[in-house]
Amino acid sequence: MNKVKLLLGRGSPRSNIENVEIWNEKLPCDKIIPRFTSEHKAYKQIRDYFLSHEEYTHLVLATDDIVVHPKHIDILEEDLENYDYPVLSGMMNVEQTDTEDLNISWTLPIKDRKHRQYKWITRKELKSQEDIFEVAFSGFGLTAIRRDVVDKIMFDADRVFEGLPPDRGASLDTVFCWYCKERDIPIHVDKRIIMKHLRKSGRHRLHKTDRLIFWAEGGVEVEL
Q: What is the pLDDT of residues 125-169, one digit of tens each?
A: 999 999 999 999 999 999 999 999 999 999 999 999 999 999 999
What lies within 8 Å, CB to CB, of 101 at 6+ separation is 93, 94, 95, 120, 121, 122
On whether residue 110 sits in a domain, the answer given is yes
On whether residue 139 sits in a domain, the answer given is yes
Residue 15 burial (10 A CB sphere; 0-12, 13-18, 19+)? buried
Average pLDDT, the chain: 93
Measured CA angle at 195 (ends 153, 171), to 5 deg = 35
On whether residue 1 sits in a domain, the answer given is no
On whether residue 156 sits in a domain, the answer given is yes
CA–CA distance, 193 with 173 (Å, rounded to integer): 18
Domain residues for the domain of 39 are 6-223
Beta bridge partner(s), residue 144: 60, 88
Count how many domains the chain has: 1
User: Do 122 and 104 contact (CB within 8 A), yes or no?
Assistant: no
On whether residue 219 sits in a domain, the answer given is yes
CATH number at residue 75: 3.90.550.40
Q: What is the pLDDT of residues 28-39, one digit of tens each?
A: 999 999 988 889
3-state secondary structure of 27: coil
On whether residue 10 sits in a domain, the answer given is yes
Q: Would you place residue 192 in the very low, low, confident or very high pLDDT band (cuts 50, 70, 90)?
A: very high
